[in-house]
Amino acid sequence: MQSTNAWTTKLTLLLASSLTVMAGATVSPALPAMKKQFENAISDPDLRTTLVKLVITLPALFIVIGSPIAGTIVDRFGRKTLLIVSAVLYGLAGSSGLYLENLTAILAGRAVLGLAVSGVMVSATTLIADYYVGPARAAFMGLQAGSMGLGGVLFLTLGGALAQRNWHFPFGIYLFAWLIVPLIAVFITEPDRTPKQSAIQMEQTIETPIAVLAIIYGLTTLSQIAFYLIPVQLPFFLDGLVKASPSQSGMAIALCTLFSAAASLTYGKLKQRMEFVAFLPIIFGLMGIGYLLIGQSSNWAQALVGLIVSGMGLGILMPNMTVWLSSAVPDAVRGKALGWLSTSMFLGQFLSPIVTQPLNKAFGFGGTYAVTGGLLTIVGLGFALFKSQVRNLTHSQS
């Protein structure tokens, strides 16, 4: 039997996890070109902009729909089969924009991609939580987020370069999923999930940590509404600011992702000295300051500094939420709980352009970043001032 500590198993889990970061942002640099491509088909510029942005955000809606279902499947029927099926579907649906010319058909493919991503994300993250415990789990969750970030750097940079040649080409990157399928089949083992009856009875007596779940799910949704301003709005913001090309937009988003990955890799060591609640002022403080810098930027360099700062906050966010949730719920419902975490994450991503569109009309892209940055900074200050109250409410463990 393949050891869960084998480097091949760890590498396979990290590669599978990297698929989730490709869901939307990979084709982000192609959005301006797609908007121009469909000028004749959709004459209304506002409608055309909204529909093109759905290429990024529509997968998130179907991840919201699919994640609770995926969580139920992994708890009842196992992790490995769902991961394989989802990876196969991912490559098929994700690459559909490579050869489709109709925007409606492309959006249908993006919807199916969202369902595939939900299966990949929930099964891969649940496997990690199954395989590792305590500090090892925190370290690997940080490594998972870091590898997703590094994958994002690669995929975004490649997506920007390909979009420079043709807006169809970035969709071909999704075929990478098919290269991972044989690795999953060989190196991933289904965890033993047949606990003794006494263990089942003990888990059934554990109360659902309502306060913890409310904070984790709520903050995840909020943070992702803010985060998706970067892949969805940044290419348009940079185009207006410095006439940035698709490759430049891809590089800028990749820079944010690179520093996010670097921050994620430090999470395991930081967690040994800090409790979950203590991370919240840092996360939202960094994100808020970064967005304020982006919103106030008047040139390329200032925007990049803001992306770096906000990226560091984003890098700590997801490993902290994932480890916190995995530690708070019983093993028997871990898949379902992580499924709802995915739902919270991608609900925020889907809502982002809807919530921020009024801000764009009122203040422009720069003003939207500034207003969002101010709100995030207030949230960070709130957690700094009331950290002890939040700690008592959630009974968090360090």
* Domain ranges across the chain: 8-185+206-394
User: What per-residue confidence (pLDDT) applies to 291?
Assistant: 95
Q: Can you give the pTM of this predicted structure? A: 0.77
State residue 197's pLDDT score: 41
Task: For residue range 3-17, list pLDDT tens digits in order.
Answer: 677 889 999 999 998
Averaged over 380-395, what is the pLDDT?
A: 81
Q: Which residues contact 292 (CB under 8 A, 6 or more apart)?
A: 306, 369, 370, 373, 374, 377
Question: What is the tens place of the pLDDT at every residue in 282-341?
Answer: 999 999 999 999 999 888 888 999 999 999 999 899 889 988 888 888 777 888 888 898
> Does the pLDDT value for residue 247 go beyond 80?
no
Read off the pLDDT band of 201 (50, 70, 90): very low
Q: What is the pLDDT of residue 196?
A: 44
Is 65 a residue whose pLDDT tops 70?
yes
**pLDDT value at position 123?**
93
Do 333 and 75 touch, CB atoms closer than 8 A?
A: yes
Q: What CA–CA distance (Å, rounded) separates 88 from 114? A: 13
* CATH number, domain 8-185+206-394, options 3.40.50.1820, 1.20.1250.20, 3.40.50.720, 2.30.40.10: 1.20.1250.20
Whether the predicted pLDDT of 199 surpasses 50? no
How many Cβ atoms from other residues are within 10 Å of residue 210's Cβ? 9
Question: In the chain, pLDDT over 70 holds for what percent of residues?
Answer: 93
pLDDT of residue 125 exceeding 50, the answer is: yes
pLDDT tens-digit readout, 147-174: 887 777 788 778 878 888 888 898 999 9
How far apart CA 35 and CA 53 sit, in angstroms, is 9
Is 61 a residue whose pLDDT tops 80?
Answer: yes
The predicted structure's pLDDT at residue 92 = 95
CA distance 152 to 318: 15
